[in-house]
Each structure stands twice: as structure tokens, then as C-alpha cells.
Structure 1
Amino acid sequence: MLDGLGGTQGTREKGSAPTRAAEADTPELPQAGVRPRPKPSASPVKRSLIGDLRMRVIYRILAVVTALAVAAVAAVTGFFSSGSSDQPGGDASGPIAAPSAAAPSPGSSSPPVPAPTQPAQPTQSVQPTQSAQSAQVPAASPPQTPSASAPASATPSAPASSGDPGDTGTATPEPDRSAVVAALADPRVPELRRDRRLGRLPGKSYRSKHRIQDRKAGVSLVRLGRPWKIFGAAPFSTRQVLPRAKGAGHRAMLVSCPVPTLVQRAPKDTALLAARWTLNHHPRGSRISWVASQPLKRGWLLAYRVNYRVKGKPRSSMAAVAVTEVPGAKPAMLFVTIPDSQRGHWRDINTAVSSLRLG
């Protein structure tokens, strides 16, 4: 019987059976273009830090480390090579000349250096070894002080002892008499030939119970009554003045202050310098003529007449300087001057000088 396809039924049945068997035996092929997924590994692979770096980074690090090592070696080598000459007592690397055998000057206060026992060697440049350097270094002669090279005339004289039981002569040096010599060389200041006490000066005596405290100078003095009056103190500590007199070269005044000159060992010398300084408060061209020179309880008094000219006419003033020592401070000075046109007040000089007290 035909199956409608031009064949017999048996033929159809026979051809279909092998086809199914072939399909069953053929293995399943994978689809084209699809890759199989890799299976994840059980543990990730660990990489070192150095393995992650590129080779050029490693080369740069090695170059920097090498440069630092070379610099460190050079620094250590230079330090040890210069240490022997830079450190105290090190041997010098250059040639050393033989030390000079010159003796210290006569004005030196240091003891003389004994001459070396070895014969003197000529001064020349040599290349000594370490043992030769130790024999030629100037350690045999001690270093000279600045006074050894200075002339004897420039060395200041040592201060003399004042005679006090506790004075050892090592206190602050007292000034020498060079300032006094210079003052006496001034043609305006004559030499003090002999001491003489101050007598009563002309004028009327005025007594006063009032006093003025000069705290800066550490003394007190009388406050004179009228016509005297207190005036501006500068440049002194205290100042009292009389009314201006017609035709006088300057104004009468009584002042006190610490002595404005160099303090000398003798109060008389200090008073001499102070008297010369007071010429600055008199007319130009004034000259001193000594009247009195006497000691005080703690100082010295100098009274003098000051001669000068005013408008071509000779005039004068009576003046006095009293210097007194103040414990722990500079000596105090009292200075009074009255022109001859007010000679009726010259007795106030006696009053002022006798009123000077400590505190």
C-alpha cells in the first residue's frame, strides 16, 4: 500500500527507524559564539608590593638611596680629615714657623719667661712631624697679656690705700690729679698757696629758721628770707636768687647739687675743680682771686672774688664753694655768688656756708 509519498508503507517504516537511532547516538554540540564561563578559583593569588611597582620606579628609588649613601660617606670623610687641625690642640696641616724668641717689654707686669735650654733654631718654614710640632709649638712661653705689649707709660697706676683699716687698695680707683693740674694750668685759676679761714664779710646778718631739703644731693641748707626767693632749680637741685641788680654782670644766687666735676681723693682738690666750674655762671673773661681756703667737718670750703668787666668797666662778685662728703653718694656742693652791686648781702655767704648739713 502506498503511503501517498510514492513509496510503500514498509519502506517508510524501514527508513524512519535508522534516523531516530542516529539522532540518539549523535552528541549535543555547543552553540556557536558562546564561550564557557571559567569557574572561580577557590583563593585569589597574592602579589607582593615590589611586584606591583614598575621597574623605572624601582630604578629611581635605588638611585636616590645611592646618592644619599655617597653624600654621607663624603661628609664623614671630610669631618675626620679636618678634625685634627680644627679642634683645640690639633696639629696643623701646613708648615709651622719656629716661635719668636723676643723677650717681653720692660713694662710688662707678668714674670719673665725663662730662656729655652735648646739652642734657638732659625725661623724658617718646615714640614714637622707630630713629635717635631710638639717641640716647636709656642707652649713653652705663656701667652702675653695686653699689658705686656703696651708701653709702661700707658699702664694706669694702682690706687693708693686711703689708710682705713678695711681698705686693701683693691677698691674702685680714685682719679689722679691730672684734672687738678689742668685746672691750675688755666690762667683764670691761680694756685692755692696757703689755707686761710673765711672772716665776716660786709653786710647785715639775717637769721632764718627755715631750711631747704636737697634730697638729690643728700644735704640741707638755710632758706634765706626776703629779698631772697626760691627760683627754678634747673640745672641745680635747689636755687635761691636775689632780684636783678642794675649794672651787674649776673644775678646773685645760692644753689646746691651733687658736685658736677670729677671727685678727687682730697676734698680740697674736688672744691678746686668745682670753683673753676662755677666760672661758667659768671660773665665771660672772669678770673678768680682766692680769699679763703679752710677745711669743713666733712669737706672743704673755698671763698674767692671773681673779677670781670661789664661794658668795659671792671666789676667783681664775692663767691664761695663748699664741698661735703655724703655717705654712699657723690659729694654735695653748695655754691653762692653775689655781685658787688649787692655787697650789702655778702654776709649771707657766711650764713649759707655755715648752714650746710647732711640730710
Structure 2
Amino acid sequence: MRVVYRGLAAVAIVVAVAVTLVVVLPSEPDEVAAGPVTAPPAAPPSSGPAPTPTLSPTETAAPSPGVTLAPGYTAMEALYADPRVPRLTRAVKRMSLPAPSRKVVKDTRSGLAVPKLPKPWKTHGAAPFTTKQVLPRTRGTSLRGMFVTCPLPILEQQEPRDTALLAARWTLNHHPKGAKISWLASQPVKRGWMLVYRVTYGKRTSRAAVVVVDGGMSKPGLAFVTVPDSQRKQWRDMGRAVSGVRVLG
């Protein structure tokens, strides 16, 4: 029996040593992968100054005009392939504009001055834009008129007209889902281009306009105004808004 007990004791000692070894072994490498994973940097860090923050998630650095966005597609080709934006033909005429307002709102980031619209318009928190004027909210809808400025948030093209087209397409991000454009007016302005258009979404519409002007900054400036049909009385203010967009002097 003593031989049996000695054998059992030896087995117990071996098992205890094995358990101790398992406990003190380091974690397997794949246990680390269960934590948060971050993407590697696209390029080695630079010793130069940090880049200037962009205006918003939609704003991108403007490469050379005509840059390819994806294999086989340029910014304009992507525009022409978008069914929400029709071709701008010669049938789209100019519109007469009223005299510009003397009261202005200054946007030092875009290098633009724009008209300060009369009541019921009022200034409002601008983010993610750099200036913003709005109409009061209307009961039963979240849509309301707004008039904003910012540095150009899309790719600048060689022709101001093409840049304005891309800007108008970008403004659909600020209209209800399913919105489509139909052109009302198109014309050059000093150091830029202006487009006026109707935005249709279901049975409702808005009037909108963009003015792209070179304000002498690193990017052209964009002025964008839109007014839904629930506030159609203020459609008359749109001519005043776009007529007064100018370079900040």
C-alpha cells in the first residue's frame, strides 16, 4: 500500500506543477486582436505644421481641376451620371436681379460678403457653415428657409459654371431624401457663376440657388439659399440674396 500511496503522491505533484505552468504562461498573440483595431496611417508623420481642420465631414481638399475620383470617372462624369441633376442646356435663361442690399454679413473664411436679409430672416448658429440666416420654423414641418456661406465644399473645376453645377448637386444633401433638381436660371457673376433651381421631393418643392465666387482665398466661396414651398412668401427674397453676393472688400 505504501508503494501505491507514493505513486499517487508523485502524480499529484506533477499535476500541480503543470497547472502552475499553465497559469504563468503569457497570453497568446490573438488575444490582443480582440481589442480595438485602428487603421495604420496613410503616410509617415511629417515634421511640418499640422494641416488646417476642414469645415465639415463633407469638405475635402481640392485637387487639381479634372482630377479623377475613381478609375474612369471625373467629378463632372459623376455629375452627368446622376439622375437627380439634369443637363444644363442653353434653354435655361438668365434672370433679372434686384439691386444689392447695403446691409451685409461678412464671411472672412470664404472671402465673401452677402446681403443681410430682412425680417422674418434672422442670423443663426452657423455650424457647419461659416454664416447662416434662417426663417422661423413652420408648424408641422422641420423644413425652413436658410441662407448660408462657406468655403467651397466640393472639387473646384476649371470652369466656374462646372463648379457651380457640382455645388448645386452637393446642396441636395440639405434637402429631403429623393430630391431632384430642375434648372430655372444660369448666368455668370463677377468672378464666378450663379444657378437658380427648383428642388422637388415627392409632392413638395423648394426654390434654391448657389453662387460660387472667387473671394481670393485658398478655395472659392459658396453662397447657398433654399426656401421650401411652405414659406413660399419668402421666395421673393431669393433674388435679393443672390444678387448681393460679392467679394469681401
Structure-2-length-normalised TM-score: 0.68
- Give 2:77's aligned residue: 181
Deviations 1:181-204 (A, max 9, x none): 10121111111112411247xxxx
Aligned-pair distance for 1:209? Answer: 3.4
Q: Which amino acid aligns with 1:184?
A: Y
- Give 1:198's aligned residue: 95
- Structure 2 distance, partners of 1:248, 1:294, is 32
Structure 1 segment 70-109 matched on structure 2, within 5 A: none
Structure 1, unaligned runs of 5 or more: 1-171
SS at match of 1:288: strand
Structure 1 segment 106-255 matched on structure 2, within 5 A: 173-176=64-67, 178-194=74-90, 195-199=92-96, 209-248=102-141, 250-255=143-148
Preserved CA contact (<8 Å) 1:257 1:334: yes
Aligned sequence identity (%):
52
Structure 1 segment 35-50 matched on structure 2, within 5 A: none
Structure 1 or 2: more strand by fraction? 2
Q: Which amino acid aligns with 1:326?
A: G
Specify which of 183, 201, 206 is matched with residue 308 of structure 1. 201
Aligned-pair distance for 1:329? Answer: 2.1
Preserved CA contact (<8 Å) 2:99 2:244: no
Deviations 1:88-113 (A, max 9, x none): xxxxxxxxxxxxxxxxxxxxxxxxxx
Deviations 1:148-196 (A, max 9, x none): xxxxxxxxxxxxxxxxxxxxxxxx8432481011012111111111241
Q: Give 4+ residue runs of structure 1 displaced > 6 Å after superposition.
A: none
- Structure 1 distance, partners of 2:109, 2:217, is 12
- Structure 2 distance, partners of 1:283, 1:291, is 20
Preserved CA contact (<8 Å) 1:307 1:317: yes
Q: Which amino acid aligns with 1:357?
A: R
Q: Which amino acid aligns with 2:200?
A: N
- Structure 2 distance, partners of 1:358, 1:274, is 18
Pick 1 or 2: higher relative contact order, CA cutoff 8 A, min separation 6.
Answer: 2
Residues 206 and 356 of structure 1: CA distance in aligned 2, closer, same or farther (over 3 Å): closer
Preserved CA contact (<8 Å) 2:192 2:211: yes
- Structure 2 distance, partners of 1:218, 1:328, is 6
Specify which of 216, 220, 230 is matched with residue 327 of structure 1. 216
| Aligned length in residues | 180
Q: Which amino acid aligns with 1:174?
A: P
- Structure 2 distance, partners of 1:207, 1:246, is 32
Preserved CA contact (<8 Å) 1:208 1:225: no
SS at match of 2:210: strand
- Give 1:338's aligned residue: 227
- Give 2:171's aligned residue: 278
Q: Which amino acid aligns with 1:193?
A: T
Larger Rg belongs to:
1
Preserved CA contact (<8 Å) 1:253 1:336: yes
Structure 2, unaligned runs of 5 or more: 1-62, 69-73
